[in-house]
Amino acid sequence: MKKTLSIFILLFGLIIQSCSNDDNESAALKPVDFTVSLKYDVTFNSLNVKKASVTIVNTETTNKYTVESDENGVATFKQILPGTYSITATKVIAATEFTETFGYTPTEAEINFNGAESSVIVNATATSTDVELKTSKVGDFVIKQIYYGGSDTKKGAVFRDQFIEIYNNSNTVQYADGLYMAQLTGNTTTTVVAYTLPNGQFDWSKSEGMTLGSAANTDYVYALNIIKIPGNGTQYPVQPGKSIVIAQNAINHKANYVDNNGKAVSIVSPELTVDLSTADFESFLGNYSGDTYQYDIQNPAVPDVDIAYWGNSNNDMIFDSLGRHGYTIFKMTDAEFAALKKYKNPKGDANQALQIPVSVLIDGVDTTRDLGSLLVPKKLPSQIDGGNTYIPSGAYSSKSVMRKTKTTIAGRIILQDTNNSTNDFVEVTANPRGFN
């Protein structure tokens, strides 16, 4: 009898526990209201941001929701599922509204403010968060297209046909001479460990030899590879509405060729790749490293970029085909560049990254693997890029990310530049000097 009673008590306890677990699970999945409070940064008196567009993305389900902030700067998301979310906020403010809000007249017709947070937990006890919006000057040069995905590994050119395109979005001639382009590095997952920030990005303040504290994360970005456009200052003019294409290898990738080892390379499906034989510049590392890579084909008709800094073992300008890099362009004097410091990341990897001040950046784009579970932590601050972009078709798909066309004035195409790549870029078939 005692044995039977004991079994009954045990079974009863398991039933109660099961019911309790079911209740807890049900509560954990119960939708909640979630609010995002927006303020301008302290430069703009930390005022509430009215009528801003706020988008949240569930990193597990990729469900996306967008609402507008109210007069108090609060965006309310009704009955969303608990989970981990990324948040982007954008406010495009016309000059007249800017003057009314802040009391002085800006030089631009429109000013773009952006804010972003990632790895934000939403549940019954975490029902709100704050996001600060910042702005930076919209640059004359913008990154127009990044072809990092590459083409088919058997029928195309793999990663050999990668390129980046930089566009003069102004109405005056700009000179590319001395323009730097950097591939930014950082952590590739949002997993939080001892050497990361809450969003999973490296906490660079913990790098060996770093003495800057939190400013190491907010005031600087970190680059593994940097190239520089040569020139005497006025050697490479870029007309309004025109661009420069920087190729990894400035050859016609649609055609068969012979590599640096004398091996014939056949392109099975030319339509999958691009002709870069008329690129404006190409990267060639043979003179820099002294060891010419098999596929680092030099086109003598296309000028080489200068190799300003090379912090990894890549023997060509190879972009990450999965989208785990960031990209930025900037200018500074040779003396200023020579004074930049380099650090290992706080994880302690062998490669050293060059530390670049945010204040010199002209434009930047954060790429990622996707906006869901493969979200890559941002490397750029929100005032440079308030979002991130990616290639939904994936690596080796012949796709690139390209900036949207905003308008056309007297035949000159003006590209959209809100300093938020989530809004500004779309996936297209790679097309040097083409438009969306």
Cα atoms in the Cβ-side hemisphere of radius 13 Å centred on 122: 30
Domain ranges across the chain = 29-135, 141-429
Q: For residue 20, is pLDDT > 80? A: no
pLDDT value of position 309: 98
Round to whole Å and give the CA distance between 124 and 117: 19
pLDDT value of position 22: 55
The SS3 call for residue 299 is coil
Over the Cα atoms of the chain, what is R_g?
A: 25
Whether residue 169 contacts residue 417, with contact meaning beta carbons closer than 8 Å, is answered with yes
Q: For residue 154, is pLDDT > 80? A: yes
* Average of per-residue pLDDT values in the chain: 93
pLDDT value of position 315: 92
Q: What percent of the chain has pLDDT over 90?
A: 84
DSSP 188-249: SS----TTB-TTSSB-GGGSTT---TTHHHHSEEEEEEEEE--SSSSSSEE-TT-EEEEESS
Nearby residues of 72 by Cβ (< 8 Å), 6 or more positions away: 37, 48, 50
pLDDT value of position 50: 95
Of the given ranges (65-74, 107-116, 346-355, 383-392), which has the lowest mean pLDDT? 107-116
Looking at domain 29-135, its CATH architecture is: Sandwich (2.60)
Q: How confident is the model at residue 109 (pLDDT cuts 50, 70, 90)?
A: confident
Higher pLDDT residue, 219 or 6? 219
Of the given ranges (10-19, 93-102, 107-116, 175-184), which has the lowest mean pLDDT? 10-19
Q: How confident is the model at residue 105 (pLDDT cuts 50, 70, 90)?
A: confident
Whether residue 143 contacts residue 166, with contact meaning beta carbons closer than 8 Å, is answered with yes
CA of residue 310 relative to chain centroid, distance? 20
pLDDT value of position 136: 77
Round to whole Å and give the CA distance between 327 and 182: 6
Of the given ranges (21-25, 128-132, 171-175, 336-340), which has the lowest mean pLDDT? 21-25
pLDDT value of position 5: 52
pLDDT value of position 241: 96
pLDDT value of position 4: 54
pLDDT value of position 290: 85
pLDDT value of position 132: 95
Round to whole Å and give the CA distance between 36 and 404: 28
- Strand arrangement, sheet containing 399-403: 281-282, 243-247, 163-168, 141-147, 399-403, 425-429
Q: For residue 6, is pLDDT > 70? A: no
Q: What percent of the chain has pLDDT over 70?
A: 93
Of the given ranges (39-43, 216-220, 240-244, 271-275), which has the lowest mean pLDDT? 39-43
9: part of which helix (H) or strand (E)?
helix 2-29
* Greatest mean pLDDT among 88-92, 114-118, 235-239: 235-239
Whether residue 427 contacts residue 391, with contact meaning beta carbons closer than 8 Å, is answered with yes
Q: For residue 24, is pLDDT > 60? A: no
- Tokens 């005022």 sit at which residue? 47
Q: For residue 7, is pLDDT > 70? A: no
Round to whole Å and give the CA distance between 278 and 245: 9
Q: For residue 230, is pLDDT > 80? A: yes
Burial category of 93 from C-beta neighbours within 10 Å (exposed 0-12, middle 13-18, buried 19 and up): buried
Q: How confident is the model at residue 417 (pLDDT cuts 50, 70, 90)?
A: very high
The SS3 call for residue 313 is coil
What does the pLDDT average to over 262-284?
97
Cα dist from 101 to 13, 89, 336, 348, whole Å: 63, 18, 37, 46
Backbone angles phi, psi at 197, to 5 degrees: -85, 170
DSSP 129-150: EEEEEEE-PPPSEEEEEEE-S-
pLDDT value of position 13: 56
Q: How confident is the model at residue 157 (pLDDT cuts 50, 70, 90)?
A: very high
Strands 306-310 and 326-330: unpaired
Q: How confident is the model at residue 424 (pLDDT cuts 50, 70, 90)?
A: very high
Q: For residue 376, is pLDDT > 90? A: yes
Of the given ranges (264-268, 287-291, 331-335), which has the lowest mean pLDDT? 287-291
Whether residue 288 contacts residue 310, with contact meaning beta carbons closer than 8 Å, is answered with yes
Of the given ranges (24-38, 145-159, 283-297, 366-380), which has the lowest mean pLDDT? 24-38
Of 360, 358, 354, the residue nearest 340 (C-alpha):
354
Residue 202 CB coordination number (10 Å): 23
What token pair was written down for 405? 């066309």
